[in-house]
Amino acid sequence: MARYNAPFEIHVHGQVALRADVTPDNLQDALKPLWKYAGAKSLAAASGSFYEDEPGIKFDAQEHLLQMCWTVEGDDDFRQALDEMCMNLNDVAQSGAAIEVTFYDTEFDDDEEDDETSDAESRDDFVMLFVGPDPASIMQVQRDLLVQDVVNLMERHFDGAELGGVVAAIDSLFSQRFDDLVNSLQLGKPPRGSGGGSGGMGHGGGRKPRHLH
């Protein structure tokens, strides 16, 4: 459904490996925040992108893979839909994955940028979201992306073989972050034998965490 005077065209891009037992109905429920925001009555009705040359939202049942290259018109309130989507995808993801979201300012005129008398500034924004079945899988994706970015940058000045120490330092930082997370969750668990049962890993004594920015 077209949103008149929508200030942004919002592009969602990424792929998520899903558990083998995930059905199309499960995926429809998980992505409900997106298709409801688009004003559709089902995932199938909203799976096509605002731009016809983009694949949209696809579910490869054979490979158990969700693929998204999808644009929708919207506003800043789309961020809430993204929060809900990521929390839902945590429950169906097989492994960690990154999702890129770009907000393109439709009200910004490129011609104004060249006008020295204009104070107009683009409100374009880029957000990287992470989903996964547990904190370790999410942190692994974050670690891999950071290593890739740092190595690509430093290879302009150093040979790749010289960067082992840099990669080890990054691994150490993520290991410490993960240990801190586990320790904080341990503090929130009830004592053994209290009858309360021990929760799984996550925020709030057993709930899986939302995506980490």
CA nearest neighbour of 6 among 39, 30, 33, 32: 39
* Structure-block tokens of residue 184: 């904080």
Least confident of 78-82, 146-150, 204-208: 204-208
Counting Cα atoms < 13 Å in the Cβ hemisphere of 169 gives 6
| Residue keyed to tokens 């839909």 | 81
Query: Does the pLDDT at position 53 exceed 60?
Result: yes
**In the structure, what pLDDT confidence band is assigned to residue 191 with cuts at 50, 70 and 90?**
very low
**In the structure, what pLDDT confidence band is assigned to residue 4 with cuts at 50, 70 and 90?**
low
Q: Considering all CA atoms of the chain, what is the largest pairwise distance in Å, rounded to the nearest integer?
A: 71
Q: Residue 166 corresponds to which amino acid? A: V
Quote the pLDDT of residue 212: 38
Q: 95 and 14 in contact (C-beta within 8 Å)?
A: no
**In the structure, what pLDDT confidence band is assigned to residue 80 with cuts at 50, 70 and 90?**
very high
| Domain 8-133, classified CATH 3.30.40, yes or no | no
Structural domain boundaries in the chain: 8-133, 139-189+198-206
Q: Residue 184 corresponds to which amino acid? A: S
Quote the pLDDT of residue 140: 92
How many residues does this entry show for the chain?
A: 213
Distance CA 90, CA 209 (A): 8
Query: Does the pLDDT at position 70 exceed 50?
Result: yes
Query: Does the pLDDT at position 62 exceed 70?
Result: yes
Query: Does the pLDDT at position 208 exceed 60?
Result: no
